[in-house]
Amino acid sequence: MDYHSLLGFDDFHIILDNPNDESEQLLRSWGGPAKITVDIRPAHDAYYDGLTPAERYKEVLAWRERNAESLKDWDAPIIDSLSLRQALYFPAVLNKYALRKVGWLALIDVDEFIVLPSGQKISDLTEDASAPRIHFLNFNFDTTGHDPARPVLEQHRMRWSREDLVAHGKGWANRVKTIAQYDSLLPFKSVHAISAGYGEILSPEVGRLHHYKAAVHVLKDVPYSVDDASAAELLRVTSAHGTDDV
């Protein structure tokens, strides 16, 4: 939230899915400049906390088998209990904003950071947009050896390159994170595209998504070949000089 408020995001709606740590208290005590809504949701369906990747995959396959008929009926991008909760929770929140007149919204996961390399604010992009949706191309970072006690931006600098993603193919070069106008948020499609329709894909030199997924989520044919500390640098400069100097 500190980071994205520096980019100009001014309204945060945080959905906490059955929180089991101090997240709620930290959010409610946040002293940032933006509006914040903390939305607590109770436990619903299966969770995978504490499982190894192999154990989680086994549980997900079992969940899909148990819910096979419902998955056909839903006809939605639901592959596990987490995506089920997203499909249940997000449309109601999107509808809240869709009823407003003017604005833009992004669905940003806790391991994602929008990066504007030129130093622009998010409003610079939305004011000049030629479409109701702006798409940021996705770049995963190497999170090997991640220490959960330290901020993610302080630890990981190596990411995929655009050239390697294009060479790999299989749709990875087209994975995006979207920010959409309020009146174009529904019907909900996915956490990535938000809704279906025309969108403008940004050059990664203008804006891109930095994605710090768990280390098990890798593509063997795509190396982490770019040393990129741009997100961490924004926070570092801000901490040293204050937000007015950024």
pTM of the model: 0.91
Collect all residues with Cβ–Cβ distance below 8 Å to 182 and sequence separation of at least 6.
Answer: 97, 98, 99, 100, 101, 102, 103, 104, 105
Q: Which residues make Cβ contacts (< 8 Å) with residue 76, sequence separation at least 6?
A: 87
By DSSP bridging, strand 158-159 and strand 226-227 are antiparallel
Per-residue pLDDT tens digits of the chain, which is 246 residues long: 999 999 999 999 999 999 999 999 999 999 999 999 999 999 999 999 889 888 999 999 999 999 999 999 988 889 999 999 999 999 999 999 999 889 999 999 999 999 999 889 999 999 999 999 999 999 999 999 999 899 899 999 999 999 999 999 999 999 999 999 999 999 999 999 999 999 999 999 999 999 999 887 788 889 999 999 999 888 776 555 444 433
Q: What is the pLDDT of residue 82?
A: 94
Predicted local confidence at residue 238, as pLDDT: 59
DSSP 3-state of 139: strand
Determine contact, residues 112/197, Cβ cutoff 8 Å.
Answer: no
Cβ atoms within 10 Å of 234's Cβ, excluding its own: 20
User: What sign has the CA pseudo-torsion 179, 180, 181, 185?
Assistant: negative
Architecture of domain 2-245: Alpha-Beta Complex (3.90)
Per-residue pLDDT, 198: 95
Q: Which residues have C-beta within 8 Å of that of residue 167, sequence separation ≥ 6?
A: none
The domain ranges of the chain are 2-245
What does DSSP say about strands 11-17 and 35-41: parallel, antiparallel, or unpaired?
A: parallel
DSSP 214: -
Query: Which tokens sit at 41?
Result: 């949701």
* CA gap 150, 9 in Å, rounded: 24
* pLDDT digit string, tens, across residues 60-80: 999 999 999 999 998 888 999
Tokens at residue 17, please?
């899915």
